[in-house]
Structure 1
C-alpha cells in the first residue's frame, strides 16, 4: 500500500553535461498531524552523481507502508530509459545500499496529461513511526532538443532542456531547491522563476515552500552542449555458443549523430587544421568495452575491413577504440560490424541442477551511446532444449531456429529485444538450457561418414569398367 504519511524531504539532481539526462532523486517522507502528505524537497544537477540521501518516515498512526510513488510527466515517461532505487541500511561506515524493485504503478491513470506513476517497492515494509533512506536514479533519452536545428561546420551546438522548477510529486512538498548544472558557462538563456540565481554553469531555483501535490513550474534552459550525440538506431548482437571451446559474437550497428543537423559543405582541410573549433560537436571515434580475453577481433563495414582501430586488453576488460571511415556530423549515418571470439570456459557454466548457462553482459558495449532498438540473439548448440533467460529488467522474448554449417535440425535461438537502452543496462544476464553431450558427436560423425562415402565411391569407381567395346 502507498504511504498514508507524507514526503518530508525530496532532492532531485539532473545531470545535463552529456547527451543523456541523468536524474538523481532523494526523498524524505513524513506525515503531518492531520494525516495529509507533506514534503520538503531539494532538486539539483551534479557532475559527480553524489546526492543527499532520502529519508522516508511512516506516520505513527498509519499502517505499514510497502512502497513509495514516483511521478513522471507523459513526455518524461515516453523518454524514460531506466529507473533504479536503493535503500540505505546501517549507519555510518557500516551503511550499505540494498537494491529495490521499481515497477509501473497500477494507480497510473490513462488520462493524456496525467502524471505516470512508478512504485518503489520496499524490501521490508515500514512500520508506523519508522523511517528509511532511499536513492533513486532514472535516465531520460532524446530529451535535449538542438536549437538551432541545423548548424554549420564551424558552429557550436546549442540545445534546449525543458523541466519543472519544482518536483512533480504526488505528495505535499514543504520545501525544495532546484540546482541545474550545465557542461560549460555558455548559457544562452534560462527561465526565471523567483527566486532564481546563477553561478557559473549552475542555475539555482528556490527555495520554494509549501508546494501542493502535482505542482509544476515549467522552465526552459538554452545552453551549449558539444558532447557527441551518438545514437545507435539498431543493434543486433548475435552470440553463437560452440561446446568445442569458443563463443563467437557478431554485432551489427546502424549509428547516427543525433545532434543538430549539419548544413553546408564539409571541409576536411578545415576539420583537420582547426580540430578544436571546426566540428566541435562531431565525433570521429568511439570506445567499445569488450569482455577480457577476446580474440579474433575484427571491425568492418560494407566496403571491407577498417584498419583504424586499436585494441587494449588486460585481465579485467578489453577496450576497442574504433574510428569510422569519416567523422560524423549531425544527421550523418554509418553502418559497421564488430566481431570477436571468447573462450567458452569463461562464460558458459554448469548449474546445480545439471543445466548449462551462459553469463554475458546485456546492452551495448559502446560507451556513452543510446540504443533505440537492441536485439540480442543467443544461438544455443544444436540439440539444446528448454531454454530459459534471466534478465534483471523487462524485455521482449521469442524463440527461433538458426542454421549453420553441418546442422541437421537447426539451433534453438533465444531472441531478446529492448528499446531505449543506455549504459545502465550493461549488466549480466543468463540463458539456461539443457544439453546432452552426445550431440557433440553429431558433426564429427557426419564428417567421418562423408569421408567414408567419398572413399567408397572412389573405390567403386576404380573397379568399374566404363570402356565401350564391340559386342561379340
Structure 2
C-alpha cells in the first residue's frame, strides 16, 4: 500500500534534512591538525604571580615519531583571554648536550586560521632552526608575558586593607598535541592564598601551588582554575607615554617623555589620611606607591622632572658611564584608581648614539620601551626628530610596530624636520631593546642655521646703517 501524501512529504522532508546535515558536516571547517604524530613527552609550566605582571615559563619536550615526516614548526596555544593580554612571547631551542648546550632563539608568529579551534584557542607557530626529523626529540623553552590578567577582588579597598587578586588559568596545558606528562606551578608573592581550585592531584607548599602530574592528556583539553591571593605590589600602568627624541648633529640628543600614569589595582575607598599613611606605611596603603625608578641611558645630563604645576624637587639621579637611575616621587602617593601626569627630560651626547653604516647612511641606536621599572604601557608613541635635510628614513625594530612619517618644526627651520613615529600597545619591560633609525644626511645642511643667523645679523646692521644715513625729517620749504 502506497503511503499517503502527507507521509510522503514528511519522508521527503526528513531525507532532505539528513542530506543537508551531511553536507554541512562535510563542508564545515575542522580544527587545524598539527603535523602528523607530534607528541609532547613532558611539559612544565611555571607561572610567576609575584608582581603586577604575569610571567610564564614553559618547557616542552617534543618528540617526532618514526612514522611521521620532518616537522619544521611547533604550535603553541593560548586561550582567548591570554591572546588578548599577551604582551610578548619568545621561544628558544636547546641544542647540544651538557656543557656544550646552547639555546637558539626561534621566531614566533601568530597563525591566522579561518577554521574554528576548540575552546577558542589562538595558535602561534614556532619556526625551528632545523627540521625535527622522525625519531628525534627536542626541547623548547617558551617565555611569555601577560598584562592586565590579575583581577582585584574586592574591587575597592580601604587605606588599611591589603589587596587581593584573582588569576585564572588552566590546570593542564592547552595544546594542539597529545601531552603525555605535564605539571603546572603557580608562585604567589606571599603565603596568604585565600583559595584555589583543586584538580587532583593538587598540592600547596607555602606561596607555591602545584597542579599535576597529569598523564596522557588529549589535544585542546582545558581545565579552568582560579587562584585568589594577596598581591600588594603597586599596579603601575602608564596609560599613555609620548617620547620625543630630537637629534642634532651639533652634538646633542634631547629626550622628552610625557607620562599619564595610574594605579591599576583595587580602587581606593573612603578618606585618605596622610598622617596614618606616614606613621604606618607598611600597613596603611600597602598596595600604594609614592616613588618610581627610571633607568635612563648612561651619561645623561640636564635632567628635569616636572608636572603641570612646575618642577618637582623630590628626585635623585645616580649617573655614571654604565647606567643612570632616576628615583623620583609624584606630588602625592598613588592609590588604586588615582592618576597623575608628569614630564621627564634629559640630554645625551650625540657620539654615544649616532653611528655610520657601511652603505654611507647614518643611524641612531636608541632603546625602545619604557624606562620605568615594573610598569605596563598601554599606548607608547616614540617620535624620532631627525636633523633638517635628512632623507630616506628607515626604522628597524625587532618586533611589529605601527610606523609613519610626519614633519616637525623647530627654531630656524625652513622646510621642517622629518620625524619617524613608532606606535605600539601593551608594552612591558621585555620590550626595552635597542632599535635603529637609518637616514641619509648631507653635511651641507648643517650650515643652514648658521647662515640664517649670519644673514639676519647682516640684514640688521644694514637696516641700522640705512636708518642712520637716511634723513626722514620734514624740512621747511625754501621760498625765493
CA distance in 1, matches of 2:94, 2:215: 27
1:282 aligned counterpart, secondary structure: coil
Contact 2:118–2:220 (Cα < 8 Å) also in 1: no
Q: Which of these residues, 122, 126, 129, is aligned with residue 123 of structure 1?
A: 129
Matches within 5 A, 1:281-296: 281-296=287-302
Structure 1 counterpart of 2:54: 21
CA distance in 1, matches of 2:354, 2:118: 47
Contact 1:154–1:279 (Cα < 8 Å) also in 2: yes
Q: Which of these residues, 223, 242, 256, is aligned with residue 262 of structure 2?
A: 256
1:460 aligned counterpart, secondary structure: helix
Matched, 1:138 2:171: no
Structure 1 counterpart of 2:398: 392
CA distance in 2, matches of 1:200, 1:108: 44
CA distance in 1, matches of 2:387, 2:85: 37
Contact 2:384–2:421 (Cα < 8 Å) also in 1: yes
Matches within 5 A, 1:142-181: 142-181=148-187
Higher helix residue share: 2
Structure 1 counterpart of 2:68: 62
CA distance in 1, matches of 2:360, 2:115: 46
Contact 2:62–2:138 (Cα < 8 Å) also in 1: no
Contact 1:109–1:115 (Cα < 8 Å) also in 2: no
Comparing 199-208 and 134-143, the one that deviates more: 199-208
1:173 aligned counterpart, secondary structure: strand
Matches within 5 A, 1:433-452: 433-452=439-458
Q: 1:464 to 1:70 in 2, by over 3 A?
A: same
Aligned length: 445
Q: Which of these residues, 4, 12, 35, is aligned with residue 3 of structure 1?
A: 35
Structure 2 counterpart of 1:463: 469
2:107 aligned counterpart, secondary structure: strand
Structure 1 counterpart of 2:331: 325
Cα offsets for 1:172-228 (capped at 9, x unmatched): 111222221111011111111122221111112222112110101111110000001
Which structure 2 segments of 5+ residues have no match? 1-32
Matches within 5 A, 1:304-343: 304-343=310-349
1:29 aligned counterpart, secondary structure: strand
TM-score (normalizing by structure 1): 0.92
2:126 aligned counterpart, secondary structure: strand
CA distance in 2, matches of 1:369, 1:112: 33
Cα offsets for 1:118-168 (capped at 9, x unmatched): 001111222223332221100100000000000000000000001111010
Contact 2:182–2:215 (Cα < 8 Å) also in 1: yes
TM-score (normalizing by structure 2): 0.91
Contact 1:108–1:115 (Cα < 8 Å) also in 2: no
Structure 2 counterpart of 1:86: 92
Which structure 1 segments of 5+ residues have no match? 31-57
CA distance in 1, matches of 2:455, 2:210: 77
| Superposition CA RMSD, Å | 1.3
Which one has the largest radius of gyration?
A: 2
2:123 aligned counterpart, secondary structure: strand
Shift of residue 109 of structure 1? 4.1
Contact 1:250–1:340 (Cα < 8 Å) also in 2: yes
Shift of residue 450 of structure 1? 0.3
2:142 aligned counterpart, secondary structure: strand
